[in-house]
Chain A
Amino acid sequence: MKLLNKINILYLLFSVGVLILLGITFYFVLSYIISEELDEKLLTIQKRVTAQIKNENQVPVIKPYIEVVEGAFMKQQTLFSDTIIENLQEKELEEFRQLTSIKEINGKTYKIITRESKMESHELFESIALIIFLAFIVLVFILFLANSRIAKSVWFPFYNNLKLVKNFSLNGLSPLRLKPTNIKEFNELNNVIFSLTEKVISDYKSVKQFSENASHEIQTPLTIISAKLESLINSNGLNTEQLEKVKSIYSSVHRLSKLNKSLLLLTKIENKQFRDVEEISIRKVIEEKLIEFQELISLGNLKLETFLDKDILVVISPLLANILINNLISNSINHNKEKGKIKIEIKERQLSISNSGDTILSNSGNIFKRFYKENSSSKSVGLGLAIVKKICDTHNIKITYSFKENKHCFMLDL
């Protein structure tokens, strides 16, 4: 739920709650006041009737409002009660409030009943309630509008900054400097985000720098080790057992140096150090690579099918284009089966390279991950496809892997 909606809904719920509470309280207070008013009025009329009987000895009767009965009543009393009487004019039952009082006037006992219709006070009550209720609704509505406007303008810097934070990328290499506002908390948040992104960027830079430097520094010792081993192999003083050991050290060093070179390459692609871009014909790169791989393809008894009538031009560093195609083709040779097929096809802006295979990969989602090997006994370094993916990612090329009709297929949307 959006913050502003949340605020509005909470506000509305609260207002409705208050409105109900106030309504109930108001109802009781108002009806109490009105009935008090009525009773007072009845009492006044009764006093006037009493006065009239006393002074003028006249008994006024206005049915059903005033009734006076003379008789022998026990004791003096005053009693308020509600009653229902048929209205003579309208022939309808009507609610009345009545005051029955027994009084001794001039030596005689009278029962004086004064009545007042409750209709009028009902109507009064209703109209007052309606006016107040309407006033409340209008007030709530206006406050709601004002509140949501205010919330919007107060939270505006927040949403603005949120957008900026969302667009933050480590490759921008500048910390997030958000717009200052006149709200203290937001400014504090901005400062925290600024120092946080500054830290992240400097850490990211130093990690990048470290991995590149480390790879570089490893190259020289590796060269020394392999040079020493080569001279050891060429000296005649070693027996077969010793040579076996030297051989295994040598091939491990060789693997290590390949690994190091691939990691260095990955870091460099990541750091975007290949800026010498030109428009490269993918078809030309493929054709050159196929000549290079020709012997390997025939060695594996592989059947090559190419559909390269069209061409795709891509703006990319020539070296990276070369590595991209190289890794994809060598992958299709390395992971092919005996007498399998390699199919390379260019369609519009799409390049697909597929090779035969018997089984679907158990973890096809990991295929582009570093050091992922489907077959753990394989001696391959496991970085070839990671490099391919990295090149694609840095050049906005979409690459997908699929297994269909016993074929492993890589599709590139160039």
Chain B
Amino acid sequence: MKILIIEDELDLLQEIKEFLEKEGFVCETAQDYLSADEKIWIYHYDIAIVDITLPGGSGLQLIKKLKQIHPDTGILIVSAKNSLDDKLTGLDIGADDYITKPFHLAELNSRIKSVLRRRKFEGAPEIIFNEIIIQPEDGSVKVNNTNLILTKKEYELLIFFIANKNRLLTKESIAEHLWGDNIDLADNFDFIYTHINNLRKKIFRCGGNDYIQNVYGMGYKFTDL
């Protein structure tokens, strides 16, 4: 899978690149409008991560071009502006998703995977992790071929975990993934614990393994045993 990261902040660019390379993606980078434009013309990418504010031009313009040249490339907008207008225009001209700074890398990863699933595995977007099989189309989950009944939040949690397996997910990033950032619950992460415990128990009851580890009270890790 080839990803083009267009971001003008070098530090952030490198961090995203490093992170995604660990996830097994091949990454290329562009720091301004012109070099990004060039790369779009020459190469083909599966996913493009586009910052809207770029030196030399607007990310929105790049998205329009990208849509013309390679309509099958998945596009994820990254923006410091949390404005609905930008979001709507971005999605209107063909972006697949929109993420606002500051974001968690795990969140970015999960969004990339979900875009990839929608674009690349049309018809058979199964998520398989050992004995766990998820059908994102209808939201059904099977463990050892037994149907698992999960609440909406538990389901979202499981997808988030599998997208970021072997990686420590902080409580903050889990809370934001599940509840968005409007919710002001900074002083109470107990509800995450409850959700995770319920998910653990449900998988365990169907004969699945306990993959979720608590790490130093910081967060949780979904690891292949």
Contacts and interface: CB of A to CB of B under 8 A. Distances in A.
Closest 5 A-B residue pairs measured CB to CB? A379-B187, A223-B102, A227-B15, A219-B101, A219-B80
A381 B106 CA distance: 24
B38 interface: no
Contacts of A261: 82, 181
Contact of B168 (A217, A233, A292, A330): A233
Interface of A: 216-217, 219-220, 222-224, 226-228, 230-231, 233-234, 240, 243-244, 247, 250-251, 254-255, 257-258, 261, 264-265, 268, 273-274, 276, 292, 295-296, 299, 317, 319, 322-323, 326-327, 330, 334, 378-381, 383-384
Main secondary structure of the interface of A (DSSP, over half): helix
B185 interface: yes
B9 A224 contact: yes
A233 B170 contact: yes
26 contacts: A220-B80, A223-B9, A223-B101, A223-B102, A224-B12, A224-B15, A228-B11, A230-B106, A234-B168, A244-B216, A247-B216, A250-B172, A250-B218, A254-B186, A257-B102, A261-B82, A264-B82, A276-B85, A292-B179, A295-B191, A295-B195, A326-B183, A327-B182, A334-B188, A383-B184, A384-B184
A254 B103 CA distance: 10
B9 A299 contact: no
Contact of A276 (B84, B173, B183): B84
A381 B181 CA distance: 12
Nearest to A261: B181
A390 B120 CA distance: 44
A230 B105 contact: yes
Contact of B184 (A227, A295, A319, A380): A380
A330 B185 contact: yes
Contacts of A226: 102, 104
A257 B100 CA distance: 11
B190 interface: yes
B211 interface: no
A240 B215 CA distance: 11
Given A220-B9, A223-B12, A228-B15, A258 B216 contact: no
Nearest to B170: A250
B68 interface: no
Contacts of B153: 295
B155 interface: no
Nearest to A222: B102
Most chain B CB neighbours (cut-off 10 Å) among A234, A251, A255, A330:
A234
Contacts of A247: 216-218
B185 A334 contact: yes
Contacts of A250: 170, 172, 218
Contacts of A228: 11, 15
Given A295-B191, A319-B84, A231 B19 contact: yes
B130 interface: no
B18 A231 contact: yes
A323 B182 contact: yes
A227 B49 CA distance: 16
B167 A234 contact: yes
A217 to B, nearest CB: 8
Contact of A330 (B9, B83, B167, B183): B183
A216 B153 CA distance: 31
Nearest to B219: A233
Contacts of A381: 184, 186
Interface string B69-83: 000000000001111
B213 interface: no
B15 A233 contact: no
Contacts of A273: 83
B32 to A, nearest CB: 15
A235 B81 CA distance: 30
B196 to A, nearest CB: 13
Nearest to A382: B184
B151 interface: yes
Contacts of A292: 179
Contacts of A240: 216
Contact of B101 (A220, A322, A323, A330): A220
A227 B216 contact: no
Given A216-B81, A247-B218, A261-B82, A230 B104 contact: yes
Contacts of B16: 227
B194 interface: yes
Contacts of B172: 250-251, 254
